[in-house]
Amino acid sequence: MNWTNKKIIAILKTHFLIWNNWRSNNSNLNINLSRVNLSSLNLNFKNLSGIDFSETNFRKAQLTLANLSNTNLRGADFYESKLDGSNLTGAYICGANLGNTDLAETNFTKADLCGASLNAAHIYRANFYEANLAQVDLMGARVVETNIEKANIDDCKIYGISVWNLKGNPRSQSNLIITRPDEPTVTVDNLKLAQFIYLLINNKEIRDVIDTVAKKAVLILGRFTPERLEILQAIRNKLRELGYVPIIFDFTKPDSHDFIETVSTLAHISKFVIADFTEPKIVLEEVPHIARTVSVPIQPLCMKGIENIAVTPGNLRVNHRSILDDFYYEDIEHLMQNFEQKVLYPAESMAQDLLERKRKEALRGQE
């Protein structure tokens, strides 16, 4: 029999037992339902595995306990649909819209969700084992008791995310963006830490307890244009390699946002600050504020050959002892060869000196 899409969709709209029996009897049939409109349909319990649903409209559809394993869902639209308990093992979901969906106990094992939107999704006890979540929009999502073992969650947008009791350790979780799209970009490398840092930026009471926390964070300040991203990447990777937690504040966003308080808060929770003055316009405005308000070492970097800078780190050092000697690097190789000796060791040494000074001041205050 010649099964046209019209006939297949007509069967799809019947009771799930009829559809599942038809699928069982036509298991070798290659079904392509890409770009069709299945919005608001009741697809609960149905076997949809292996079907091509690329760019299909599932808006407000009901897919509770549906089998979507190994399906092609590239660019599909599931906005406000119910996928609770469904099986998406091995599914290709890149670029799909799962905004405002119910993903309670949904199985995404080894699924590829690269670039998908899970904006404001309800993700409860879902399973993302070995899933690819790179560049996924998780802004406003509620993620509770969910398994992220061996998942890749690099470069995700996570502003407003709510994370509770995650299970497992992801394979990778770098460059998580915790700020809104219209704000200067702040990234961190740990999903749980990201939520904590955002709370620190916006909650003074939480900031007050940060001095009791062992500091591993290093704030990187700079204006990292596309031509200079390789420098940023090298600094970040080196810090990770040496056991630090890099926090990046990139000044390439528009200047309309007042971010002095944000930078100060990030500096306050950092062991030291690395400030790249190669493109110094904004960095030179922020570093003096950090030096005045936060007791933290600041290590200036600058690529050789920069000229016509009215105010230099050396000028700032006259009034601020926490600003270390400048390190001028020739190129990325020169920077990496000298990173530990010229950048980390001076910053760590001053951090210890500042800590000892605080301890002595505290002792004097008790006398």
Whose CA is closest to 223, among 291, 276, 290, 155? 276
This prediction has a pTM of 0.74
Residue appearing with tokens 């608001």: 40
* Count of alpha carbons within 13 angstroms of residue 288, beta-carbon side: 14
Question: Hey, what CATH class is 190-367 in?
Answer: alpha beta
Give me the tens of pLDDT residue by residue for the chain, a chain 367 residues long: 689 999 999 999 999 999 999 999 998 999 999 999 999 999 999 999 999 999 999 999 999 999 999 999 999 999 999 999 999 999 999 999 999 999 999 999 999 999 999 999 999 999 999 999 999 999 999 999 999 999 999 999 999 999 999 999 999 999 999 988 888 888 999 887 887 787 777 766 666 655 545 568 899 988 777 777 888 889 999 999 998 889 888 766 545 446 677 888 888 888 999 988 887 665 667 787 788 888 889 998 888 876 545 445 555 655 567 889 889 999 999 999 999 999 999 999 998 888 888 777 777 766 6
Helix (H) or strand (E) holding 240: helix 229-241
Report the b/e string of 83-97 with b at 16+ CB within 10 A.
bbbbbbbbbbbbbbb
Q: Where are the domains of the chain?
A: 1-173, 190-367
The answer to whether the beta carbons of residues 202 and 259 sit under 8 Å apart is no
* Count of alpha carbons within 13 angstroms of residue 249, beta-carbon side: 26
The answer to whether the beta carbons of residues 288 and 320 sit under 8 Å apart is yes
**Coil/strand/helix, residue 233:** helix
Residue appearing with tokens 């500096």: 267
Q: What is the dihedral of CA 75, 80, 85, 86, to 10 degrees?
A: -30
Q: Architecture of 1-173 per CATH?
A: 3 Solenoid (2.160)
CA gap 346, 94 in Å, rounded: 45
Q: Could you report the per-residue pLDDT of 299-347, keeping only the tens digit for each?
A: 988 888 765 454 455 556 555 678 898 899 999 999 999 999 999 999 9
Q: List the structure tokens of 308.
A: 């016509």
Radius of gyration of the chain from Cα atoms? 26
Helix residue ranges, H only, 58-189: none
Helix (H) or strand (E) holding 302: strand 298-303
| 255 burial via Cβ count (<10 Å: 0-12, 13-18, 19+) | exposed
Q: What is the dihedral of CA 34, 156, 146, 123, to 10 degrees?
A: -50
Helix (H) or strand (E) holding 301: strand 298-303
